C-alpha cells in the first residue's frame, strides 16, 4: 500500500482526500505542521509527501526525503516556486495539480474587486450596527473602465471573460501570448499606464518577483485598483503601502502576501501580529486582505484531491510516468519535451 504523508493539512483537506480514497488504496498520514527542515523526519517510511503552497521543499529537505526513500513530492496546488526542482531532479519526482478550478480563483478576484469599489465590506459592518448612512460609500461603475490583466493562462482568461461581461475594456500582458485569442496584448509599461484596474494572474518567477514595485506604481494612473490572487511576492508590499499612502493606489485587494507562510491559514485573532507591514496594510480603509482563500470552493477541493490521487496512482502503476510531472531536465517544466512517454529520470 502506498503511504502518503500530508503536510500543512486542514480539516477540509482531510475530508476531500478521504472521500476520494474510498477503496483505501492508499494509507494517509495527515499532519498539521508544515514541511520544513525541522519536520521532515515525519516523512520517514512514507512513499509520497503531499505539500501545499507554504511548505518548504528546499535542497536540505529534498536530500532528507531522498535519504528516507520518498519517491514523490505531490503538490496539491498549481504553483511550485517553493520546491527546489533542480535539487529534486534525479532523486525525487515532483508532480502538481495544474488546474483545479480556475473559476474559483477568477471569481474570487472579481468578488474582491466588486467588494472594494462598491464598499460592500463597509456597508456590511455599518448595517450590523443599524447604521444606514450612505456617506462615504460612493463607488464607481466597471462599465467602460480599462482592466489590465497580467497573465493569460486559464485563470487570467476566465477573469477576462468576467470583466468583458461587465463591459470593461481589457488589455493584457503575457510573456507567452495566447495565439488566436483575440486579446489585446500590450507591453507591461503600457498596461501600467492605461489601466484603471490591474489584476495579477501570473506565476512567480525571477522575472515576475516584485513586478509591482516603486517604479511600476509610478507609471500607473492615480487611483488605480490592484488585485493579486496569484503569489504574494509579485508585489513589493512596502512599495504598495507607499503607493496607498501617497494616494497613487486607490485600492488594493490581496488574497496572497509575500510573508504569508507563518501567518495565513491560522487563527491569530488572540495574538499580536508581528508583521507590522501586513498590519498596516490591513488597517488601511481601501485595502481588503483574504488569507489565500481564492481556491477554496467545494469543486476545487474535490478536483485537487482527485488529481493528486490520480497523479500518485499513475506514477506507481505506470513505471514512473505521470502527465503532471514537473520535469526540470527539459527546461520546459510543465510541458515535458518527452511528452510523458518516458521517465524523466
48 close to 70: Cβ distance less than 8 angstroms: yes
340 given a catalytic annotation: no
Catalytic residue among 260, 266, 335, 340: 260
**How deeply is 29 buried, as exposed, middle or buried, from its count of CB atoms within 10 A (0-12, 13-18, 19+)?**
middle
- The set of cell numbers assigned to 144 is 467602460
User: What secondary structure does DSSP assign to 199-210, as a single string?
Assistant: EE-----TTTTT
Distance of CA 339 to the CA centre of its chain: 26
Catalytic residue among 93, 107, 292, 325: 292
91 close to 62: Cβ distance less than 8 angstroms: yes
Catalytic residue among 231, 268, 276, 299: 231
User: In 10 A of CB 15, how many CB atoms?
Assistant: 12
240: nearest Cα among 229, 187, 232, 110: 232
What secondary structure letter does DSSP report for 284? S
231 given a catalytic annotation: yes
32 given a catalytic annotation: no
Distance CA 85, CA 99 (A): 20
N-term to C-term CA, the chain: 23
- φ, ψ for residue 48, nearest 5 deg: -140, 145
Active site residues: 231, 260, 292
Amino acid at each position: 500500500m502506498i503511504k502518503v504523508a500530508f503536510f500543512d493539512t486542514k480539516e477540509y483537506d482531510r475530508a476531500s482526500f478521504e472521500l476520494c480514497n474510498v477503496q483505501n488504496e492508499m494509507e494517509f498520514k495527515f499532519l498539521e505542521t508544515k514541511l520544513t527542515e525541522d519536520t521532515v523526519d515525519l516523512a520517514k517510511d512514507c512513499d509520497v509527501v503531499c505539500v501545499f503552497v507554504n511548505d518548504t521543499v528546499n535542497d536540505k529537505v529534498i536530500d532528507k526525503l531522498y535519504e528516507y526513500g520518498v519517491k514523490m513530492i505531490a503538490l496539491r496546488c498549481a504553483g511550485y516556486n517553493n520546491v527546489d526542482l533542480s535539487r529534486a531532479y534525479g532523486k525525487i519526482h515532483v508532480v502538481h495539480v495544474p488546474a483545479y478550478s480556475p473559476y474559483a480563483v477568477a471569481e474570487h478576484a472579481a468578488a474582491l474587486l466588486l467588494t472594494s469599489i462598491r464598499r460592500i465590506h463597509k456597508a456590511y459592518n455599518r448595517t450590523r450596527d443599524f447604521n444606514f448612512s450612505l456617506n462615504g460609500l460612493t463607488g464607481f461603475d466597471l462599465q467602460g473602465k480599462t482592466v489590465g490583466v497580467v497573465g493569460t493562462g486559464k485563470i487570467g482568461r476566465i477573469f477576462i471573460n468576467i470583466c468583458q461581461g461587465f463591459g470593461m475594456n481589457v488589455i493584457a500582458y503575457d510573456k507567452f501570448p495566447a495565439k488566436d485569442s483575440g486579446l489585446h496584448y500590450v507591453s507591461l509599461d503600457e498596461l501600467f499606464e492605461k489601466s484603471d484596474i490591474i489584476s495579477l494572474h501570473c506565476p512567480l518567477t525571477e522575472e515576475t518577483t516584485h513586478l509591482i514595485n516603486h517604479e511600476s506604481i509610478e507609471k500607473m494612473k492615480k487611483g488605480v485598483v490592484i488585485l493579486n490572487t496569484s503569489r504574494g511576492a509579485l508585489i513589493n508590499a512596502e512599495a504598495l503601502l507607499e503607493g496607498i499612502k501617497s494616494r497613487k493606489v486607490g485600492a488594493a485587494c490581496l488574497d496572497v502576501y509575500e510573508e504569508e507562510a507563518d501567518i495565513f491559514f491560522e487563527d491569530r485573532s488572540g495574538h499580536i501580529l508581528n508583521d507590522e507591514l501586513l498590519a498596516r496594510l490591513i488597517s488601511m480603509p481601501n485595502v481588503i486582505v483574504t488569507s489565500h482563500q481564492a481556491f477554496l470552493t467545494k469543486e476545487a477541493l474535490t478536483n485537487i484531491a482527485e488529481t493528486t490521487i490520480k497523479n500518485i496512482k499513475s506514477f506507481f502503476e505506470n513505471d514512473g510516468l505521470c502527465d503532471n510531472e514537473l520535469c526540470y531536465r527539459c527546461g520546459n517544466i510543465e510541458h515535458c519535451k518527452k511528452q510523458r512517454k518516458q521517465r524523466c529520470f
